[in-house]
Amino acid sequence: MSGRVLVGVKRVIDYAVKIRVKPDHTGVVTDGVKHSMNPFCEIAVEEAVKLKEKKLIKEVVAVSCGPQQSQETIRTALAMGADRGIHVEVSGKDYDSLGPLQVSKILAALAKKEEAQLIILGKQAIDDDCNQTGQMTAALLDWPQGTFASEVSLEAEKIKVVREIDGGLETIKINTPAVLTADLRLNTPRYATLPNIMKAKKKKIANVKPADLGVDLTSRLEVLRVDEPPQREAGVKVETVEDLVAKLKDTGKI
């Protein structure tokens, strides 16, 4: 199999940042907060670049949907070895309400436009933890999906995917074109080396609007309120097992 791979990369708040809820409870504070590429997207990029190094695919295209700053995320993907980038401009209120359904519509449209043979995404984003975009994209394209991939191998016109599931590991074989989502143990993402950072400067990032792809960004969801998780309270000590059962019944836990 040769051809083009689309890799989705999402700009999220850095995993090490302490998240704070906005005073108006409409969301979390993002201004001036450190952002980076979603860790599962890094793994997706790494897998795509490895496939290209093995000469199993020809071109890696990094895609990100978001405001101007999303270009930094694409640039990081280019510095890891992606060939070119596509920045789908979404900002303001549209960006606030952007979710897996709209992104999967965008990715499906791009996959058709770019004649991609493979889409690799992170299994989920660490901000919303949706774990939906890969599955939705596959459904919209009517392509097979290999999600939670911990091992991917291309065999002739099929892809063998080892998936991490609750019961252990499941191995499936799917046809191409297909959508894969990367799980933690798929690979260890490489550092963006200096020579590659310099090479990335010359790589192109195309700008596209969702309307150009015929995608409607209207959200079916409305965020009513965002709150911090409840503060962890002190525990209570009891003397006997009977006391414990009584307390659990009292507080409606059993």
Partner 1 sequence: PTLTRECLSQLAELPETHQLLRQTCRDYADKELIPVAAKLDKEHAYPAKQIKELGSIGVMAIEVPEDLGGAGMDYLAYCLALEEISRGCASTGVIVSVNNSLYVGPVLKFGTEEQKKRWISPFTTGEKVGCFALSEPGNGSDAGAASTMAHQDGDHWVLNGTKAWITNSWDASAVIVFATTDKKLKHKGISAFLVPMPHSGLSLGKKEDKLGIRASSTANIILEDCRIPLDNMLGSRGAGFKIAMQTLDSGRLGIASQALGIAQASLDCAADYALKRTAFGAPIGKLQAIQFKLADMAVALESARLLTWKAALLRDSKKPFTKEAAMAKLSASEAATFCSHQAIQILGGMGYVTDMPAERHYRDARITEIYEGTSEIQRLVIAGQILKEYQL
Residue 192 near partner 1 by CB under 8 A: yes
User: CA-to-CA distance for 203 and 49, rounded, in angstroms?
Assistant: 15
* 103 makes contact with partner 1 (CB under 8 A): no
Which residue in the set 12, 36, 136, 180 belongs to the binding site for partner 1 (CB under 8 A)?
A: 36
Which among 199, 214, 212 is positioned nearest to 84, based on CA atoms?
A: 199
To partner 1, the closest distance from the beta carbon of 191 in angstroms equals 5
Tell me the residue type at 157. Answer: E
133 binds partner 1 (CB under 8 A): no
**Pairwise CA distance, residues 63 & 84, whole Å:** 9
Q: In terms of Cα–Cα distance, which of 58, 114, 59 is closest to 88?
A: 114
Task: From 92-100, 109-117, 197-205, 211-219, give the range in contact with partner 1 by CB under 8 A.
Answer: 197-205
Q: Should residue 107 be labelled a site residue for partner 1 when binding is judged by CB under 8 A?
A: no
- Note whether 251 binds partner 1 by CB under 8 A: no
Q: Does 237 bind partner 1 (CB under 8 A)?
A: no
| Residue 231 CB contacts under 8 Å (≥ 6 apart), including other chains | none
Using the rule CB under 8 A, which residue among 2, 26, 91, 193 binds partner 1? 193
* 74 φ, ψ (degrees, to nearest 5): -65, -40
**Site string (201-220) toward partner 1, x via CB under 8 A:** x-------------------
Using the rule CB under 8 A, is 79 a contact of partner 1? yes
Q: Does 64 bind partner 1 (CB under 8 A)?
A: no
Does position 41 interact with partner 1 (CB under 8 A)? The reply is no
- Count CB neighbours of 158 within 10 A: 16
How many other CB atoms are found less than 10 A from the CB of residue 243?
12
> What is the SS3 assignment for 15-36?
CCCCCCECCCCCCECCCCCCEE
- By CB under 8 A, the count of residues binding partner 1 is 14
Given a contact cutoff of 8 angstroms between Cβ atoms, the answer to whether 102 and 133 are in contact is no
Does position 53 interact with partner 1 (CB under 8 A)? The reply is no
Q: Is 231 in the site for partner 1 (CB under 8 A)?
A: no
Binding site for partner 1 (CB under 8 A): 36, 72, 75-76, 79, 191-195, 197-198, 200-201
